[in-house]
Every structure is written in structure tokens, then in C-alpha cells.
A and B are shown apart, each in its own frame.
Chain A
Amino acid sequence: MVFLIFVFIGRESLPVFLGKTDTATAKFIPVDQMDHLTPEQLRQYLLLSPAEFKGKSREFLRHKMELREEEAKESGDNKDAAINTTRWRYMLRPYQWSDYNRPEFIWQPRGEIQKFNIIPLVVGSLKVTTVALLISVPLSLAAAIFVSQLCPVRIRELIKPGIELLAGIPSVVLGFFALNVMAGVLQGIFHYRSALNALLAGAALGLAVVPVVFSIAEDALTSVPRSYVQAALALGSSRWQAAWQVVVPAAVPGIFAAIVLGFGRAIGETMIVLMASGNAGVMSWSLLDSARTITATIAAELGEAVQGSPHYRVLFMIGVLLFVVTFLSNLAGELVMQRLKGRLEGKR
């Protein structure tokens, strides 16, 4: 029986394991597509559909390749055509493409020359996430302090399920709300150009992060032993003083964990940013410009990327990037939280 259960455990942890290995293979990007071509790559290089490609003679393919070469020579002024845009150099650093007058970061997987610079996506994700955290962290920490320390027990029993319900709102609904209600309100306040931008996406994302930060911070604050508060109160401090100067400092690691886990949630959220951020793949630090995040890019483009194509591989690669980032932030939050609880329980 124990053995059987072990098998089930194996089966259960398998997805985690395979999830890692499987997406990690996507990191492998054909470095020199021009030279070492598998049939599949050849097919893609020649822009043939599988049905067209099948059963074609070598001569035909060679002829096709020659045609392609001629085409390439004709557009010889376009030096970009010879570049393998999936090299790290082109994905991470700015490059002066032939139609541009200065080096730029560009994500543009469609078109003749696919440009896979992931920096705009990373910046977009960070922008939106920062806005979300700036909005949600103060709000939810204040609420957590209120609920765990200051308010009467009966009100707490009412508020907590309410915030749990907020966690239950599907993100697509939050995205819809952002699109139909918040977009108009925010534009009325700030009068910016594009209705869909990083600010809007961040604000909507903040709503999704609030329950995460709240529940973990609240958990951390409640796990501070009651005796701390009682001691502070006995010394004549008010409830607020006890909460702010005794409980909060004791729970600081937990609050940190809450923020880190909130960050993990925010950077991994897909539907809200897909609907509300505008999705322009241009590098910009401005909050009022449209932004494109890692998650939204995957969601929007994977459906149309040809399986096995460089585009497809790059999308999986940024998926791995996302996975690693969230994994590390979750791990950090988890460890801090465990240590805090251990310490507080040990002290009791």
C-alpha cells in the first residue's frame, strides 16, 4: 500500500518535474538555421506548408532554395535578412535594424524579419507589476493590520470571506472590468492618449494581487503571539501602538513574504494584462504608454506560431524565464514565511 502511494506521489510530482524539463528543452534555439537545416527547418525556411513540402524532390527544393537566395540577394540592401535574430545578442541588446536610425529594442515576431528582443517584454512586465504592487501592497497591508489587530472579531469574520471572494473573481472578469469601467474612469482623470496602457493594466492587476498579499500578511500578523500585544497593552500603549510598534516589526519577514508572493502572482497574471495593457511591443518606460508583458505575449502569439518554429521556441523560452522568476520568488517567500513561523512559535 505504501508502495502504491509512492507511485501516486511519483505521478503527482512528475508534472512539476516534467514541467521543468519539458519547457527547459525549449531553451534550445537553432543557432544557425541557415546552415544546419533539418527537413522541418528547411520546410519553414522555404515557407511551405507540410502538405506542399511532402514528397517534393531534392531538385525542387534546391531550386526553391536558389530562388530564395536570389530573393535575398535582391533585397541585399536589407542586411537584416542574414541575421539569425534568435541569438542572444539580438534578443537582449539593442540593435540598429536597417530601417531605423538608432539601435533599438524591438519585439516584432511578425513580418519579414522577425525581431525577438525580449527586453521590451521584460520592461513591460516589470512596469505593470510595479504599478500593481504600488497600488495593492499599501492597501492590503493596511487592511491586514486592521483585520488582524484593530477590528472587533465579529467584523473580522465578515471581512475575511469578502476578501476571499475577491480572490475568487476570475482574472478574465477583472480584465473585462478594467476594459469597460476602469479604462474610462482613468482616462477621465489623466487624459492620456492610449486608453489601454500600463497604468490601467497595473491597477487592474492590483485588484488581483490584493487578496494574495492580504491573506499572507494577515496570516503573518495573526501568528505573532497574543502575549506580545497583551504585554504592550499592559504597559499602557494603545491598540494602534501595539499593532504598529510591536506586532508589525515582529511580522516584518511575513510581510516581506507577502509582497514577494504578490510579485509572483502579478508577474504571472495573463488575462488581465492581455486585455488591458494594449500590447505594443515597443520599448518604453512611460506608464501611460501601452505595454506588452511576457505573459500576454505568450498568450497572444503562441496560438499562431508554427509548432517548432523559432518564434514558437522563443515563446517557450520566455515561458521558462517566467517560470524561473516566479519559482524563485515563491521559494523565497515560502522560506521566509516558514522561518518566521518557526521563530515565533519557538519564542512562545
Chain B
Amino acid sequence: MNAVQHPDLRIGRPNWASVFFTGLTGLATFLILAILALILGNALYHGWSNFNWRFLTGGTAKGMFSGGNGIWPMIYGTSARVILMTIFVMPVGVITAIYLTEYAPSGSLLTRFIRSAVNNLAGVPSIVFGLFGLGFFISFIGRNMDAALNPGVEAPVWGKPALIWASLTLAVMTLPVVIVATEESLRAIPQGLREASLALGATKLETVVKIVLPQALPGIMTGAILAIGRAAGEVAPILFTGAAYYMASLPHALSDQFMDLGYHIFILSTQSPNVTETRPIAYATVLALLLLTFSLNLVAILIRARMRSKMRAMH
């Protein structure tokens, strides 16, 4: 039988092209990973010497830009806003995902609308979330709270940048992350499990709460961790919604401002009067932030990889 030679496939072509292009694309891949390694190595190399317990737990009493300072206030502020954000975002995100996978009729107009809203929310630039936080949470909700709670008082309590507004802004921003991760884990659960539960007389709600959710827990955890990892490093949304250039004390209340790791890196690298003196602490701060976000991301990636292989085994 004669092989029909498709003109596009050019079978007679020598194989060197294949080798060459495989090498070229491989090189591009390698380059990306090399840059990643360079960034990490650079931060590690320059940041390590200053990265110690005293640096992590010290305050900024000795002036912001000189050595001998610590980053405890920033770690505290970043942790506080991230924890608050998690509290806000998880219930809303998980319930939305449950609705989308378990209850919503697939393909209906509303479901598709919610899906595309979620997808689009994921692509909105972080600075726009900052504007939204300022415009909605601070100017609208905060002002009105001030007017309602303590009328006649000049100084705003809620109508100004605050820890709670920064957390809420971040919660809105990370909502798609949580929804997508939770949905994925819910879908991975075999339909038979649900059917078995329903066949034994459980209601839909019981099935969701007692059968589906426990199974989906690793995926939901992944979503939370990814959201935290994303939020911990974000600076743009909190520029106007809560981060402070400098604060003498740690934030005590939800209406306080806070210092932040990422914002601190920005300040150290752009506002310092003495660049050479500041650079070592800036590097150490970068290292701290990288360790924080990377360990979170790594945990999320590992859980997800394990979940996927488990899912493959199930099907």
C-alpha cells in the first residue's frame, strides 16, 4: 500500500530540525527555571547573613533604614491581615463552590453568569482591588459606619485605612482562588459516592455536609493555602486600604493600620536615604517574604499533586 504523503508533514525532512527545535524549546524552559533559581539564589545569598532570630523578632526602634532592626511588626501585620482575610473568604468561597457544583443546574444562565464573574474577578488587576477597597469599604461602608456609630465626632474611626478593610479587600481578591480550588476538589469526588449516600436515605444537605465535604477537605485546604500565598505577597491592594509607612506600635484593633512585609520591601528599596546601608536588611526582608510565600505554595502544590494522583487511581 502506498503511503499517502501529506504535503504538510514533509516526511523526507531530515531529523536535525526535530533535534534542534526540541533543544531550543528545552533551552527556553531551562532559561525560565534558571531565572527562578537566580532570583531565589540571589535573595538567599545576600539575605542569609542578616536573616536570624533577632532580625525576625526585633522591632523598628532604631530607625527604619539602618541595620540592627527587626521585622516583627511587619510579620505581625502581614499575618494579621492574612488570617483575617482567610476568615472572611473561606465561608463565602466554599459555599459558592458548593452551590456551583452540587446545586446549580449546570449550563443554566445564572450558573454561567456566576462562573464568568468569578473568572473575570480573577483577572482584575490588584491595584483596581485597591481602588475598590478605598472606594467601597473605606469611603462608603466606613464613612457610613462612622456616621451611624459615633455621629458628630471629627476623627474617623472606620472611614480610614484599617486592618479590616485591607483584609476584606484581599478577601474579595482571593475569592476566585478559593472557589476554583474548592470546585476542582468537589468535582474529583466520584458521583457514585453521592449516589450511595442518597440511596441510603440521606438528604442532599446531609450528603454534602457529611460525605462530600470531608472528602473535599484537602482541596479546600489547598485553596486556602493558595489564597494565603497570593495575598501574603500582594502590596498594591493594601497601599490605600490599610498598610502604614511606619507605626510605633503593633495594631491593636481592627480599625488600626499595620505595617506589612511587602510594603516594607517597597519602602526599603525606594525611599531609603542610604541605599548601601539599607540593602542588606532589604534582602533579608525579601528572603523572609519569599520563604513565607514559597512554603505556602509548595505545601499547596504537594497536596494538589497527591490529590490528583489519588483521583486518577479512583477513576
Contacts and interface: CB of A to CB of B under 8 A. Distances in A.
Contacts of B265: 172-173, 176
Interface in B8-26: 8-11, 13, 15, 17-19, 21-22, 24-26
Contacts of A173: 39, 43, 233, 262, 265, 286, 289-290
A150 B26 contact: yes
Interface string A257-276: 00001001101111100110
A76 interface: no
B3 A236 contact: yes
B125 A2 contact: no
A146 B32 CA distance: 12
A187 interface: no
A19 B127 CA distance: 12
The A contact surface, by secondary structure, is: helix
Contacts of B26: 146, 150-151
A10 B235 CA distance: 28
B121 to A, nearest CB: 6
Nearest to A307: B139
Contacts of B32: 139-140, 143, 162-163, 166, 210, 214
A153 interface: no
Contacts of A2: 103
A263 to B, nearest CB: 11
A211 B76 CA distance: 30
A323 B124 contact: yes
Interface centre among B21, B27, B131, by most chain A C-beta atoms within 10 angstroms, is B131
Contact of B121 (A9, A16, A171, A239): A16
B127 A245 contact: no
Contacts of A285: none
The B contact surface, by secondary structure, is: helix
A303 interface: yes
A220 B297 CA distance: 24
B125 A161 contact: no
A9 B236 contact: no
A4 to B, nearest CB: 8
Interface in A1-49: 1-2, 5-6, 8-9, 11-13, 15-16, 18-19, 22-23, 26
B6 A235 contact: yes
A72 interface: no
A9 B99 contact: yes
A295 B127 contact: yes
Contact of B28 (A142, A177, A333): A142
Interface centre among A26, A165, A168, by most chain B C-beta atoms within 10 angstroms, is A168
Contact of B125 (A26, A168, A295): A295
Contact of B269 (A179, A238, A241, A270): A179
B154 to A, nearest CB: 8
B175 A299 contact: no
Contacts of A164: 297, 301
A12 B127 contact: no
Given A16-B121, A239-B18, A165 B131 contact: no
A235 B13 CA distance: 13
A57 to B, nearest CB: 20
B48 interface: no
A240 B21 contact: yes
B73 interface: no
Contact of A264 (B123, B127, B236, B294): B123
Nearest to B229: A168
Contacts, number: 256
A280 to B, nearest CB: 15
A75 interface: no
Given A210-B32, A270-B126, A12 B269 contact: no
A5 B103 CA distance: 9
B272 to A, nearest CB: 11
Contact of B9 (A207, A236, A239, A299): A236
Given A9-B99, A143-B25, A239-B22, A299 B127 contact: yes
A176 B293 CA distance: 16
B267 to A, nearest CB: 10
B270 interface: yes
Given A170-B293, A180-B279, 6 more contacts: A139-B32, A142-B27, A150-B22, A173-B290, A241-B17, A330-B120
Top 7 A-B pairs ranked by shortest CB distance?
A268-B125, A170-B233, A142-B28, A330-B123, A146-B25, A240-B18, A238-B18
Interface of A: 1-2, 5-6, 8-9, 11-13, 15-16, 18-19, 22-23, 26, 138-140, 142-143, 145-147, 150-151, 159, 161-166, 168-177, 179-181, 207, 210, 214, 232, 235-241, 244-245, 261, 264-265, 267-271, 274-275, 295, 298-299, 302-303, 307, 316, 319, 322-323, 326-327, 329-331, 333-334
Interface of B: 3, 6, 8-11, 13, 15, 17-19, 21-22, 24-29, 31-33, 35-36, 38-39, 42-43, 92-93, 95-96, 98-99, 103, 114, 116-117, 119-132, 134-136, 139-140, 172, 175, 205, 229-230, 232-236, 239-240, 262-263, 265-266, 269-270, 279, 282-283, 286, 289-290, 293-294, 296-298, 301, 305
21 contacts: A8-B99, A9-B96, A22-B136, A23-B132, A163-B36, A172-B266, A173-B262, A173-B289, A177-B43, A207-B39, A235-B9, A236-B11, A238-B15, A239-B18, A240-B17, A240-B18, A268-B123, A268-B124, A268-B127, A303-B240, A326-B124
